[in-house]
Structure 1
Amino acid sequence: MHMLLTQCKNLSLPVYKEATGDLVEKSDIILDALFGFSFHGQVREPYKEMIGFFESTSKPIVSVDIPSGWDVESGPTTEVGFQPDVLVSLTCPKSCVSQFKGRRHFVGGRFVPPSLAKKFNFDIPQYPDGDQVVEVPIK
């Protein structure tokens, strides 16, 4: 997290410790990276309020790995149903990607060895040149 904050400061990107609906609406884009793929259960405060902003904003949302509050297998839940505009899957797309209705999908994970991909039955996308992230078609 410290490295990400340093990079944002180096790029003169503002970072806020708390969000409000007004601040969300002043933003150009929303980065959703609240939870990891192992999240289970109900969303509690203060995250519930943040996800409420995601569900009510017209701003583009970029979710990292899995949209926050989604079930890793089945996607949106009865409690969380927002759809990000962009999804950046880490290592490989998770099962919930089948419920992704956004505009663009990227995968970051060039480092996955073919033996691991075979073991877990997923295709490694072709990464051009030295790229670490590749756009994949939305199914």
Structure 2
Amino acid sequence: MSGGPVVRRARPEELTDVVALIAEHAVYEKAEPPAPGLEERLRPLMFGSPEPRLRCLVAELGGTVVGYATCSAEVSTWDGAEYLHMDCLFLRDGHRGLGIGEALMDAVRDEARALGVGHVEWQTPAWNDGAIRFYGRIGATSKDKRRFLLPVT
């Protein structure tokens, strides 16, 4: 598709752009902004080894990064198997509904296949009807669960 989105792994020099998208994502989800120093904390997770702990995919359109997805391998005790956890998927305003989200999801699936895992899991806020419709359109199913956070410090 000529002039369409290019989805690929993020490069170290794009981390500032990714962090800017993460901040926009936090605003979109009505969450607290990322704590200062996020770029320095993410750099070793994303680029510190040939097989990074955190995989980051970016969607580029017209030479500009307009979206991202992050994922990492996790383990399901019940399944006794690994799966790919997609922590974030976000597209900048004005870039939804153009097929970019689906291209990012295809790239996430490719990451899962490359790792040899059988499925991808993620969550989205219950109020995010647009995302819920999108995930349904691409064949995803949902489970009713709540996510908890327990500080340890």
The structure that is strand-richer by fraction is 2
TM-score (structure 2 length as normaliser): 0.31
The structure that is helix-richer by fraction is 2
